Copies of this chain bind each other. A is one copy, B any other.
Amino acid sequence: MSDSALIDAARDFNRFYTNFLGVLNKAYLDTPFTLTDARVLFEVGSQERLSAVALVRDLHLDAAYLSRILKRFKAEGLLETTPDPDDRRSQLISVTDRGREQFQELVRRSNAQIAGRFDKLAAGEPQSIVGAMKTIRSLLDPDATLPPLVIRPHRTGDMGWIVESQAKFYSEEYGWDMRFEGLVAEVAGRFLSTFDPAMEYAWIAERGGINIGSVLITNGGDGIAKLRLLYIDKSARGLGLGKTLVDECIRFARAKGYRQISLWTNDILSAARNIYLKAGFQLVSEEKHRMFGPELNGQTWILDL
């Protein structure tokens, strides 16, 4: 795609999104607030203590205009200002309890608007949209901070996500065929069907509501814990997430009294192999196979606990 085609597409999107936001912002029409009022309240409500200059900068408002808005909000008891102890020209703005209520009302309305849009979409589409929004934001807004990475137990739909994302990744990257997806689905399915909360666990890493990593411990019998389906999404590589997940597995296996962790992998997956090596796993056997199409070196690794 040529540069000018990209620019045209972006301009077109902006035109579209200007309209779209125009519609969404009608949500504020039957509140006592104008769009600018709402934006100010949003900003103050979200950030708690900030100065007027910061607002002028962030929202690109006229200082005189903002001054009047703040004055009105103060008169209505929505905001209060305290002089900045470090710079007595400046004042720090924060919401009062009443202001917080109004802010939350705005959030509710705004959320309802968005939820209304999302309701009309197919399953997974909101995720696609939000994912795309995050892409745009992270590239256009250098200050954007990533939402925190959370590691949590599995819940409904996670195993499906594991099957889909692993299948797609290994297919694209290494040309593995659908038998691999079949294996993953069977492993994931058996895990859920025979799940023993006392001895088994699944860790899902997510960021901002989007899954980015996984690992399972299943009970292999004879005091052996099996580590399975370790996977880190492209977007989260290089953060040490793989190590974190494997460490969680080891801690869990120790706590549950397993005497050994075993896992099966393939030698071309070097990032994973490094994690296992560093965690103290030892390679115990290796065999060539063609389970997924291309010839691979399957490896079994073991860690004595």
Q: Which residues of B contact A8 (CB under 8 A)?
A: 111
Contact A125 B157 (CB under 8 A): no
Contact B167 A114 (CB under 8 A): no
Q: Which residues of B contact A59 (CB under 8 A)?
A: 19, 22
As a 0/1 sequence over residues 12 to 37 of chain A, the CB contacts with chain B under 8 angstroms (1 = contact) are: 01111111111111000000000000
Contact A156 B133 (CB under 8 A): no
Given A123-B169, A193-B186, A209-B5, are A133 and B132 neighbors across the interface (CB < 8 Å)? yes
Interface size range of chain A in the complex = 35 or more
Contact partner, A160, options B111, B160, B212, Cβ 8 Å: B160
Contact A192 B182 (CB under 8 A): yes
Contact A122 B1 (CB under 8 A): no
Contact partner, A178, options B1, B124, B156, B162, Cβ 8 Å: B156
- Give A190's nearest chain B residue, CB to CB: B186
Near B by CB (< 8 A), chain A positions 22-66 give 22-25, 39, 42, 58-60
Contact B128 A135 (CB under 8 A): yes
Given A59-B19, A123-B169, A159-B163, are A5 and B189 neighbors across the interface (CB < 8 Å)? no
Q: Which residues of B contact A162 (CB under 8 A)?
A: 160
Contact A163 B185 (CB under 8 A): yes
A139 within 8 Å of B (CB atoms): yes
Given A9-B208, A141-B16, A188-B185, are A157 and B171 neighbors across the interface (CB < 8 Å)? yes
- Give A187's nearest chain B residue, CB to CB: B189
Contact B234 A122 (CB under 8 A): yes
A117 within 8 Å of B (CB atoms): yes
Residue picked from A18, A137, A169, A194, most chain B C-beta under 10 Å: A18
Interface of A is mostly: helix
A179 within 8 Å of B (CB atoms): yes
Contact B11 A21 (CB under 8 A): no
A7 within 8 Å of B (CB atoms): yes
CA distance A110 to B167 in the complex (A): 29
CA distance A161 to B181 in the complex (A): 11
- Give A166's nearest chain B residue, CB to CB: B160
Contact A159 B133 (CB under 8 A): no
10 further contact pairs, Cβ within 8 A, besides A17-B21, A161-B164, A183-B189: A1-B158, A10-B129, A11-B110, A13-B134, A13-B136, A16-B141, A123-B233, A124-B165, A160-B162, A186-B186
- What are 12 pairs between A and B in contact, CB < 8 Å? A1-B155, A1-B210, A7-B111, A10-B118, A117-B140, A122-B236, A125-B235, A128-B210, A156-B181, A157-B171, A181-B192, A186-B193
